[in-house]
């Protein structure tokens, strides 16, 4: 006796045109898309996270401001032919900054060659700064006149605090076109 | 010796037959990068100058001496320069070790360029070998990068200023350098900042250059060399003299 009573036929034509195969097919497509979608999303997020990883949030670099004393520390005097009364090297070693006094103002030159960033050296007798790397030369006011340097040395923001002391802020830098900015020098 | 142990490792006999010679190459994971047979013209020193081979040899020398240097060198600003002096003056054979590593680096840069020159002069870059030329350009760049990153590690004045100048050039990159044309970034997000791990050549920069120098770049060079050598075989062996 043949067994015709199997309740679950393996293959069955779908009467209403709705085919079982199609249903599972589209479910599989959806699952496949979700799967790959999750995979590539994870990959993209990890890649973005890894890129972000290379930009540290905290820098263990020295503070950007320092105080250079009061106006009395930078007395008036006779100016050289570039209008500079004095160039102070007091903060050069620790801060890489020259404090320059002209007859009507004080400003802070960042001791970084505008060619490729070496530290020029101050020659008081010549009233010049000279860069050891590729021979750029600057007048005492930081203006370039020889070598590959494209522009005068940059200057840092300088302000007078309420107690009379003068503060230099190394996080604010001015290039030659901005030297008229009131934060770039101290009238004195 | 042709025991089961031998046979389990090497799938060939000792006997000097053409079949066994082939098997020696084919059944070895390193040698199989190499062509099964080398035609006579490829052995001519006048044709290849063995410049690629010498470059690879210099690279292996750098790997071995470099690993030895790592036993004494700390990539920390308090120690880096002292460790170089210690290596030179007190570590047994430290001076010659350091010098070999430095000479090897110079040699590698010179020979990789001469190798490129000979590939150019012998027209060996032409189809089907165009892709190996591309891999070669990658290897040349990586060779220069290994020299650049290694240059910072002694942490002396030469090192410090060379990397200052080099990374400031990076700051002039279009779009991703803070001082470059069309700059889209500030000094805390530009390419120089990533290279240095900060805004100055400091502790982070030393560590980053160290990691790049001893692991990241050599790892890519190893993979690049494997592809380079395997491609020679796939492209029909060393090109023929014209
Ligand atoms: C890490 C650097 C490199 C290593 C270790 C290396 C190694 C080799 C070696 C061992 C060979 C076999 C022939 C020979 O010794 O001359 C070879 C062939 C070749 N190399 Fe390089 N190479 C390097 C860089 C380059 C560069 C910079 C180029 C060109 C841009 C280049 C392009 C080629 C080409 C096209 C061949 C096939 C030459 C032929 O079939 O005659 N490789 N390389
Ligand atoms: S960095 Fe000063 S001249 Fe080049």
Q: Average pLDDT of each block of 10 consecutive residues along chain B (242 residues)?
A: 81 86 89 86 88 96 97 96 95 95 97 97 93 97 97 94 91 92 91 92 95 98 96 90 72
Q: Could you tell me the strand order of the sheet in which A137-139 lies?
A: A121-123, A128-130, A137-139, A144-146
- pLDDT given at position A21: 60
Tokens at residue B18, please? 């053409």
Give start and end residues of each alpha helix (H) in B153-234. Answer: 157-170, 191-196, 203-211, 217-234
Query: May I ask the CATH architecture of the domain B46-234?
Result: Up-down Bundle (1.20)
Residue nearest atom 4 of ligand 2, based on CA coordinates: A134
Nearest-ligand number for the alpha carbon of A150: 2
Q: Which atom in ligand 1 lies closest to the alpha carbon of residue B132? A: 35
Residues B119 and B130: beta-carbon distance below 8 Å: no
Ramachandran area for residue A136 (φ above 0: left; ψ -120 to 50: alpha; else beta): beta
Closest residue in B to A117 (Cα) is B165
Q: Note the pTM of the prediction, 2 decimals.
A: 0.74
Q: How far is Cα of residue A120 from the mean position of the Cα atoms in its chain?
A: 22
Q: How far is Cα of residue A40 from the mean position of the Cα atoms in its chain?
A: 32
**String of b and e for A131-155 (b: at least 16 CB within 10 Å)?**
bebeebbbbbbbebeebebeebbbb
Residue nearest atom 1 of ligand 2, based on CA coordinates: A116
In chain B, where are the structural domains located?
46-234
A182 to each of A86, A140, A162, A187, how far by Cα in Å?
A: 21, 21, 17, 9
Most ligand 1 atoms within 8 A of CB, residue of B228, B235, B238 to mutate: B228
Q: Do A54 and B204 touch (CB under 8 A)?
A: no
User: Is the CB of residue B202 less than 8 Å away from at least one CB of chain A?
Assistant: yes
**Could you report the per-residue pLDDT of A100-142, keeping only the tens digit for each?**
999 999 999 999 999 988 999 999 999 999 999 999 999 999 9
Q: Do A133 and B165 touch (CB under 8 A)?
A: yes
For the residues A28-49, what does the mean pLDDT come to?
96
Closest residue in B to A175 (Cα) is B179
- pLDDT given at position B15: 86
Name which of B77, B78, B159, B165 to mutate to probe chain A: the one with the most chain A Cβ atoms within 10 A of its Cβ: B165
The number of beta carbons lying within 10 Å of the beta carbon of residue A100 is: 23
**Cα–Cα distance for residue pair A138/A111, rounded to 1 Å:** 11
Closest residue in A to B171 (Cα) is A116
**Cα–Cα distance for residue pair A162/B211, rounded to 1 Å:** 47
Name the packing angle between helices B203-211 and B157-170 (round to 10°).
80
């Amino acid at each position: 006796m043949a067994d015709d009573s199997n309740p679950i036929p393996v293959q069955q034509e779908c009467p209403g045109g709705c085919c079982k195969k199609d249903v599972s097919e589209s479910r599989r497509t959806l699952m496949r898309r979700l799967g790959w979608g999750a995979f590539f999303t994870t990959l993209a997020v990890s890649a973005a996270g890894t890129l972000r990883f290379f930009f540290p949030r905290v820098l263990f670099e020295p503070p950007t401001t320092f105080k250079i004393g009061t106006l009395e520390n930078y007395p008036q005097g006779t100016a050289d032919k570039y209008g500079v009364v004095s160039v102070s090297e007091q903060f050069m070693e620790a801060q890489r900054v020259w404090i320059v006094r002209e007859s009507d103002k004080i400003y802070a030159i960042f001791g970084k060659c505008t060619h490729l960033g070496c530290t020029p050296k101050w020659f008081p007798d010549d009233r010049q700064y000279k860069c050891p790397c590729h021979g750029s030369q600057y007048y005492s006011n930081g203006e370039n006149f020889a070598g590959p340097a494209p522009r005068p040395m940059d200057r840092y923001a300088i302000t007078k605090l309420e107690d009379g002391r003068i503060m230099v802020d190394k996080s604010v830098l001015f290039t030659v076109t901005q030297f008229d900015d009131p934060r770039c020098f101290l009238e004195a | 010796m042709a025991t089961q142990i031998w046979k389990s490792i090497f799938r060939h006999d000792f006997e000097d037959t053409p079949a066994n010679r082939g098997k020696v190459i084919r059944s070895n994971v390193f040698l199989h990068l190499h062509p099964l047979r080398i035609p006579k013209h490829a052995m001519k020193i006048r044709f290849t100058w063995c410049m690629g081979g010498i470059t690879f040899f210099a690279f292996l020398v750098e790997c071995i001496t470099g690993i030895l240097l790592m036993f004494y060198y700390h990539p920390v600003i308090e120690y880096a320069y002292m460790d170089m002096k210690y290596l030179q003056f007190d570590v047994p054979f430290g001076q010659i070790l350091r010098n070999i590593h430095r000479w090897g680096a110079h040699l590698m840069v010179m020979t990789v360029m001469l190798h490129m020159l000979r590939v150019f002069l012998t027209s060996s870059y032409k189809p089907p070998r165009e892709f190996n030329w591309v891999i070669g350009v990658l290897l040349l760049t990586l060779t220069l990068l290994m020299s650049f990153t290694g240059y910072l590690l002694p942490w002396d004045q030469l090192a410090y200023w060379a990397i200052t100048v080099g990374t400031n050039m990076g700051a002039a990159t279009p779009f991703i350098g803070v001082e470059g044309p069309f700059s889209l970034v500030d000094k805390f997000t530009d390419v120089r900042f990533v290279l240095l791990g900060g805004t100055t050549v400091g502790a982070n920069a030393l560590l980053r250059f160290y990691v790049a120098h001893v692991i990241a770049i050599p790892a890519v060079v190893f993979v690049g060399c494997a592809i380079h050598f395997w491609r020679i075989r796939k492209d029909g062996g060393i090109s023929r003299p014209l």
